[in-house]
Structure 1
């Protein structure tokens, strides 16, 4: 996937991301990002195994939670940072559009991954991505990302079966140019 910055994606369920610029740094590329989130919207509990993520509120109020901890909130000018390997979620806790600026480091496959997730959400017309695409992304990029909001039985049994069925049915041809996943570091 070749990207020209700025590059925007929208999942049709209340979130728009604009990848603004990729900055090459000695210890990994930093991807600058803006996001806009509709009231009540935001990603479910998830983890980036190999990336740090930081969001600074420009307008609105962000709610956020680290797995196992109480919900917290931040307002305009405040920054929330999630370290790699720490499960988290965030949402728009206000009544107007939440606008944040931030970064992800190292960038790795995040542009491809989130673009594919958002496309799968648009395909399904729901918050839950189209099942075959979701299974492909969760299996292929398991060393980089996990969606902890998905019940364990579904993650460990249903998704692998769906992935294999998708392979048999030829559902993944549109992922022919998908970047290779990173090796696991956990």
Structure 2
């Protein structure tokens, strides 16, 4: 099985990942800046697809629509739309989701800053989605990622009980079963 996981700890650029569900993300390059590296990206999203509500605690994310129609939403706010040439900025700590609201492929350019562990994290999440064949990532991989990188990323729609009880229990079982050997050398979490 092909894996999306980059060679640890540093992939070569450009580096493309696919979740098998209509999302392709290409990490083009790291652009060094005094206040943290800016990761330059491109994405392609098929109609109706896009990531669930999520939060980057330590990073800003910016998307500029190149082709298609992007829908996006913040909690408690109505859906908003962006078309070719429009730019949407999601500030760190702000839960958000976006999806392709058109009938054609959505293509965006953008950046994430500071990059921190995002290449590894998203590559591992996409790989876990490929393994499960659905939007919900494979449970052990998801438990590892959501536990190890909890101070950096959050999946907002996961119920509190699942975050506090189910994910930690699954993580512990995964450790006992040796499920996380493949993550040896994974980047250290950023403590924010």
**TM-score band w.r.t. shorter chain:** over 0.9
Q: Once the 2 structures are TM-superposed, how far is the Cα of residue 69 of structure 1 from its aligned partner?
A: 1.3
Structure 1: give runs of 5+ residues left out of the alignment. Answer: none
Aligned to 1:25: 33
Q: Specify the SS of the correspondent of 2:145.
A: helix
Aligned to 2:3: none
Q: Which of 105, 118, 121 matches 2:113?
A: 105
Aligned to 2:97: 89
Q: Once the 2 structures are TM-superposed, how far is the Cα of residue 107 of structure 1 from its aligned partner?
A: 0.3
Q: Specify the SS of the correspondent of 1:121.
A: helix
Aligned to 1:154: 162
Structure 2: give runs of 5+ residues left out of the alignment. Answer: 1-7
- Distance in 1, Cα, partners of 2:149 & 2:83: 32
Task: After TM superposition, list the pairs within 5 Å mapping 1:1-186 onto structure 2.
Answer: 1=8, 2-183=10-191, 185=192
Q: Specify the SS of the correspondent of 1:28.
A: coil
- Distance in 1, Cα, partners of 2:141 & 2:42: 25
TM-score normalised to the size of structure 2? 0.94
- Alignment RMSD (CA, Å): 0.7
Q: Once the 2 structures are TM-superposed, how far is the Cα of residue 149 of structure 1 from its aligned partner?
A: 1.6
Following TM superposition, where does structure 1 have runs of at least 4 consecutive aligned residues deviating by more than 4 angstroms?
A: none
TM-score normalised to the size of structure 1? 0.97
